[in-house]
Structure 1
Amino acid sequence: MTSEKHGTFGQVGIWSSALHGSRTDDAGKGAIAEAVAELEELKYGTLWIGGSPSVGDAAAVVAATRTVTVATGILSIWDHSAEAAAKHVAAIDESARGRFVLGLGVSHGPMVPRYEKPYSAMVAYLDALDAATPPVDSGHRVLAALGPRMLKLATDRALGAHPYLVTAEHTAEARTALGPDALLAPELSVVLDTDIDRARTTARNMLAMYLGLPNYTDNLLRLGFAESDFHGGGSSRLLDALFALGDTARVRARTREYLDAGADHVALQILTAEEGGGGLPRAEWRELAGAFGDDL
C-alpha cells in the first residue's frame, strides 16, 4: 500500500522524544529548531514529537519548519484537557495549522494515578474536541491505537491510528481493523549498528521500560509472544520483530515490511547507544535519508 491517500504524511517520517522544546533551555530550543529544519530539507514526510508532548512542543516545531507535517506522538489525554489542547491548536499560525496533526493517547495505568475506563475517556475527549471553539476536527487528529476497540474508534473519530511498539504482523491486523481508507502510521525503532549483539543491547535498554506496561505486553501476547519473551529486556525473537537492527539496507527492508503489511507511513525512531534514544541523532538521520532517497 502506498501513502497516496495521505500524501502529506509521506511514506517515512522521524519520531523523536528529543523534540520537546519545553524540556530544554534556549540553546536546546535552538538546536531543535536547526534539527527539524534539516529534517525538512532531508525530505522526511512527517516529524513526530514523541514522549507525551504538549501542543506547545509541536507548535515550536511547526514554527521552525515550512511545509513538513508535524504531529504529537502522543499527547496524553490525562495531562491536557481537550479544551486547553484545542485552544493551543488554534494558537498555531493559521497558515501552518493545516499541517499539524494532534496525536492522542490514553497512556498507561502505572503512569496515571487516575487511570480508568480509557476507551470511555477517549470518547469523551474527542467529543470535547468536537465541541471546542474552534474544534479540532477528525481530519487533524490520530489515535495511539493497539487493540480492536481503539482501532475502530480511530477509524470512526479520527484520521487514523499511530501504533507504537508493534510488529509488521500487528500492522497487517490493524489495516484489516481500520479498513482501507484510514491512516495507519506505526512507529518503528531503529538501531543503526551492524554488530547485532550490541544493537540488541541498545534495543533492550530502550525496551525494558515498556515491558512493564500492560498495554504493550498484552498486545504482544495477543500477537503470539510468551511471557518468557519479556525476560531480560526482551528475547532476541521479540527484538527482531519490534526493531530494525543493522545497516541502512536492513532498515529499508524492515520499513518495507510495514508498508507492505498495510502501513501508509512509518515513523522511524533512531536509538543510539550513546544517547539512549534521547538525543538528536542528526548524523543517523542524514544517513537514513540518503539510503531511502526518493522513497521518502
Structure 2
Amino acid sequence: MTVELGRIGVWTWAFERLPWPQVRAAAREIEELGYGALFFGEMDGRPAPTQAALLLAATERIVVVPSVAIIYRHHPATLAQAERTLAEAFPGRFALGLGVSDRKHMEDRGHTWRPPVRAMREYLAAMDAAPLTGPAGPPSPRLLAALGPKMAELAGERTWGAHPYFMPVEHTAHLRELLGSGPKLVVHQNVAVHRDPAEARRLARASLAPWLAIGDRSSSRWRVIQELTGLTEADLDDGGSDRLVDAMVAHGDPDQVAERVRAQFEAGADHVCVSVATDYGLPEVRLPELRELSKVLL
C-alpha cells in the first residue's frame, strides 16, 4: 500500500498525556498547517492502535504513525489485525512504527526482556503469520526504531525502513550508508525554537534532561553517538555540554532550525519529523512553534 509521508512531519509525546479534545484540536491544526505526517509516542497511555484510530478519524489527509508501538505491549496477532483494519479504513494514511523500548521499563511492567534484534525479528514473523478473518488487504508500511547496525539491517531487510529517534545528523548519514538507497529513512529531529539564543539553548538543554536521567539505560545509544561525533563522557556532565546540546537539538530561530532540517536531508533522510522541546515534564504540543516552523519548512 502506498503511503506518502511528505518531507516534514510532527513528532510528539504529548498526545498520550493530554485529554482527547485537546489532542483532536491539535491534530487538526497540524494537518491544516500542511505537515505531511503525525508521529506520536506510546508508553503507558492510550494504546498505539487506539490512539492512531482516533487521530485518523479526527483528520482528513495527514498520515498517522505510532512512533513507536512497543512490541511488548501488543500481542503480534492483535497488532497485525489492528494494522490491517486501520490500513483498510484509512487507505494511504497509516504506517506502523515498531520498537522494543528499554529493558528496565519493560521488566518493571512484568515483561521478559529478550535480545532486541531477535525479539523484533520474531515479532515481525509472528505478525506476518497471524490468522486474519477480515478483508485480506495489505498490511501498512512498517518502520523500525533502529539505532545500531543490526536493527538497521533488519529494518532494511524486512520493513519499509528505519525510524531513529533523538540522534544527531552524523547518525543519519551513518544509517543511510548502512541501509543503501532503497529503504526509507524517517528521522526524528528535536528542536528548541526561540529568537533569544540564550533561551533557545536553555530549552534545548532542558530537553536533554530525560535522556540524561536514564543514561544507564541508554548506553547503546550513547556508544553510537560517541563513535560518530567524538563526544566524550565529560560532555554528559552538568546537564550536558554545549557540544552535546548542539549535536542533539536544533535550537534558535525558525531559520536556524530549518538549517538543521536541511542538514538531515543532505545526510540522507527521506522524511524529518520535528519535535518541539519543552521544559522537562510538560505535556505540550507547542502549536505556536509549529506555526512558525511551517512558514520555513513547508
Q: Same fold (TM over 0.5)?
A: yes
Amino acid at match of 1:126: L
Displacement of 1:291 in angstroms is: 2.2
In structure 1, how many angstroms separate the alpha carbons of the residues matched to 2:181 and 2:139? 17
* 1:200 is aligned to 2:201: yes
In structure 2, how many angstroms separate the alpha carbons of the residues matched to 1:254 and 1:130? 37
Match of 2:83 in 1: 89
Displacement of 1:168 in angstroms is: 1.0
Match of 2:235 in 1: 229
Match of 1:289 in 2: 294
TM-score, normalised on structure 2? 0.88
Out of 2, 5, 21, the residue aligned to residue 9 of structure 1 is 5
Match of 1:209 in 2: 210
In structure 2, how many angstroms separate the alpha carbons of the residues matched to 1:272 and 1:34? 19
Amino acid at match of 1:42: L
After the TM superposition, which residues 144-293 of structure 1 pair with which residues of structure 2 at under 5 Å, given as runs? Answer: 144-211=145-212, 212=215, 213-223=218-228, 224-273=230-279, 276=281, 278-292=283-297
The 1:231/1:138 distance shift into structure 2, 3 A limit, reads farther
Out of 23, 41, 65, the residue aligned to residue 32 of structure 1 is 23
8 Å CA contact retained: 2:207, 2:278: no
In structure 1, how many angstroms separate the alpha carbons of the residues matched to 2:194 and 2:281? 14
Match of 1:61 in 2: 55
Displacement of 1:276 in angstroms is: 4.9
- Count residues with an aligned counterpart: 282
8 Å CA contact retained: 1:130, 1:137: no
Amino acid at match of 1:221: Q
Partner SS, residue 96 of structure 2: strand
Q: Where does the alignment leave 5 or more consecutive residues of structure 2 unmatched?
A: none
Partner SS, residue 8 of structure 1: coil
In structure 2, how many angstroms separate the alpha carbons of the residues matched to 1:175 and 1:260? 11
- Provide the aligned C-alpha RMSD in A: 2.1
TM-score, normalised on structure 1? 0.88
* Deviations 1:46-104, CA, capped at 9 Å, x for gaps: 10012445211111111111111110111111122212212222343724043211101
In structure 1, how many angstroms separate the alpha carbons of the residues matched to 2:195 and 2:139? 42
Report the more deviating stretch, 86-95 or 190-199: 86-95
Q: Where does the alignment leave 5 or more consecutive residues of structure 1 unmatched?
A: 1-5
Displacement of 1:277 in angstroms is: 5.4
The 1:29/1:139 distance shift into structure 2, 3 A limit, reads closer
In structure 1, how many angstroms separate the alpha carbons of the residues matched to 2:71 and 2:153? 18
Amino acid at match of 1:38: E
* Deviations 1:122-163, CA, capped at 9 Å, x for gaps: 001100111124489676110000111111111011100110
* 1:100 is aligned to 2:105: no
In structure 2, how many angstroms separate the alpha carbons of the residues matched to 1:87 and 1:109? 26
